[in-house]
Each structure stands twice: as structure tokens, then as C-alpha cells.
């Protein structure tokens, strides 16, 4: 009933029956039984908007899967795929930077997942290491449902915070579309290879300036292929940025990626 602490189980075909619940991140749980199968799950509370986003894009192998939900009068609780290897951000902090093979693998996984998201009319807008998790084999899982807001351990510990990943059009207050994700891919590729984002500065003002002027400098150690990919993504004019298909087909990605999981089955991946 309405006073039931655990709430009611729902099905993914009846989203509009939930109303507009509010919530916060709950605890991650270990393996739980669901639908007759033992699968590793995490249960969390979330907002209605986050729930709709997850439902729309769940199904790609590089997006954290939504299995089901239940709700009470105040919250919706999601039963989510468990990412046993944790956050990419912590892994990057531990390693300082990734080699070309690992960085290119992330680029291929993300580009494929974002093609899928964009096809579903979802713009991510916040691709960064804090919002990326790793599955059992190290495969990438996009996991952006407000976690970085609620879990302090996932927050970027720099003066400029997430400003480092904002594209020029958002910094300048101009309209933006799905091409903001292309910019974020370029920033991410740079940070994975170098260990810091490309426009990181001592103050917000300096970071704003470097982003809007695309003040981009590559270390001497970065290969020409990586420079070419990043340079094609970090363009001030969104229309000039390398499209996601171009990321997948880029020679540097093709030569270095060691993707663990193949693209999902027909209809659930970006490269179909």
C-alpha cells in the first residue's frame, strides 16, 4: 500500500505511473536475486529525470544497466548493474595517466555508447572520469545519474571543478546540442593520456579564457595520432568537431584500442 516502506515493484513499461518522486543516492548492495537469476546489483534512490534517462539508454554494454525499479511515496529506487572495478577517476589517480592502448579503448567504448545515446535523443553533457565506472573485465560503464553530486569521493578535487570539461558554447552561454559530448571526449582523451585536463588553470577566469580560445598545448611525449584525434574534437565551432563515427574510425583508435566487449546485439549498440 501507500504506507509500505519498501514501496511497489514496477515494470519498465509503466513509467508514467510513478509521478514525480525525489530521492538521493542509496547504498550499493552485493549480489541479489532478481527475476530468477543471480546478478550483481546496486540499489539507489534517484530523481524522476534521472530515472527517465536511465530507462531510455539502458541496454548498451557500455552504459550501466537499469534492471528494474520499485518506489514508495517519496522515492524511486533503481536496481542497477554492479560495476565491480569501481570508478575510472580513482584508477586514473592511482596510475596518474593511461597508456595509448587503454586510452584508445575508452575512446572506442565511449564513442559507441554515445552514438547509442544520441540515437535515443539523450545528450550526456557531463562525460568525465568521475561519471565513468568499470565492469568486471575493465569495460567502461557510463554512470551519470547524479552520483558525483551525492558522493563526495567522486568529485573532482581541483579549484575549477567540472569547469575543465565545459565546451566553449556552454561557457559563453550559447545554445548547445549533442556536439558538447564531442568536446568532452577530446578533453577526456587528453586527461587520460596526460593525467590532467588540457585547460586546467589556477583560476576560473584563466580556465574560461583557455576554453573559449581553445588554448591547447600538447606535451612532447604525446603521439601524433593522439594529437590529431584530440585536435579534431576540441574545435570552438561545434559543427567542425569530429563526429562520433569518425572517432570510432580514427586510425589512432583503430590501431590502439583493445576493447574487451564487442558492441551490443543489434538494436542496442551504436555501431549498427
Q: Which residues pair with 39 in a beta bridge?
A: 32
Residue 126 appears among annotated catalytic residues: yes
Q: How far apart are CA 50 and CA 18, in angstroms?
A: 13
Q: Is 208 marked as a binding-site residue?
A: no
Contact 189, 230 (CB under 8 A): yes
Q: Is 181 marked as a binding-site residue?
A: no
Catalytic residue among 126, 164, 177, 215, which?
Answer: 126
Torsion sign (Cα): 143, 147, 149, 154? negative
Q: Is 131 marked as a binding-site residue?
A: yes
Q: What is the DSSP string of 136-184?
A: TTS-EEE--SSHHHH-GGGS--STTGGGGG--HHHHTT----TTHHHHH
The order of strands in the sheet holding 31-34 is 8-9, 66-71, 76-81, 37-46, 31-34
Q: Is 81 marked as a binding-site residue?
A: yes
Q: Is 83 marked as a binding-site residue?
A: yes
Q: Is 77 marked as a binding-site residue?
A: no
Tell me the CA end-to-end span of the chain in Å, nearest whole number.
44
Contact 189, 107 (CB under 8 A): yes
User: Binding site for ATP: which residues?
Assistant: 81-83, 130-131, 144
Residues belonging to the active site: 126
User: Binding site: which residues?
Assistant: 81-83, 130-131, 144
Amino acid at each position: 500500500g501507500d504506507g509500505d516502506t519498501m514501496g511497489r515493484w514496477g515494470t519498465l513499461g509503466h513509467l508514467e505511473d510513478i509521478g514525480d518522486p525525489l530521492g538521493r543516492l542509496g547504498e550499493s548492495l552485493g549480489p541479489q536475486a532478481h527475476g530468477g537469476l543471480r546478478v550483481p546489483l546496486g540499489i539507489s534512490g534517484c530523481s524522476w529525470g534521472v530515472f527517465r534517462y536511465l530507462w531510455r539508454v539502458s541496454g548498451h554494454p557500455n552504459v550501466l544497466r537499469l534492471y528494474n525499479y520499485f518506489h514508495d511515496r517519496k522515492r524511486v529506487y533503481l536496481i542497477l548493474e554492479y560495476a565491480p572495478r569501481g570508478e575510472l577517476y580513482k584508477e586514473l589517480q592511482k596510475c596518474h595517466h593511461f597508456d595509448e592502448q587503454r586510452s584508445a579503448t575508452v575512446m572506442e567504448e565511449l564513442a559507441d555508447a554515445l552514438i547509442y545515446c544520441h540515437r535515443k535523443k539523450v545528450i550526456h553533457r557531463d562525460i568525465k572520469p568521475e561519471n565513468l565506472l568499470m565492469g568486471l573485465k575493465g569495460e567502461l560503464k557510463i554512470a551519470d545519474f547524479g552520483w558525483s553530486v551525492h558522493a563526495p569521493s567522486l568529485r573532482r578535487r581541483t579549484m575549477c571543478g567540472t569547469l575543465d570539461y565545459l565546451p566553449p558554447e556552454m561557457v559563453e552561454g550559447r545554445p548547445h546540442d549533442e556536439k558538447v559530448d564531442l568536446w568532452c571526449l577530446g578533453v577526456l582523451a587528453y586527461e587520460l593520456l596526460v593525467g590532467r585536463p588540457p585547460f586546467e588553470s589556477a583560476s576560473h577566469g584563466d580556465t574560461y579564457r583557455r576554453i573559449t580560445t581553445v588554448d591547447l598545448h600538447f606535451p612532447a611525449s604525446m603521439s601524433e595520432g593522439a594529437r590529431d584525434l584530440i585536435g579534431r574534437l576540441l574545435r570552438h565551432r561545434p559543427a567542425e568537431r569530429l563526429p562520433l563515427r569518425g572517432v570510432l574510425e580514427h586510425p589512432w583508435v583503430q590501431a590502439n584500442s583493445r576493447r574487451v566487449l564487442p558492441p551490443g546485439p543489434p538494436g542496442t549498440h551504436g555501431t549498427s
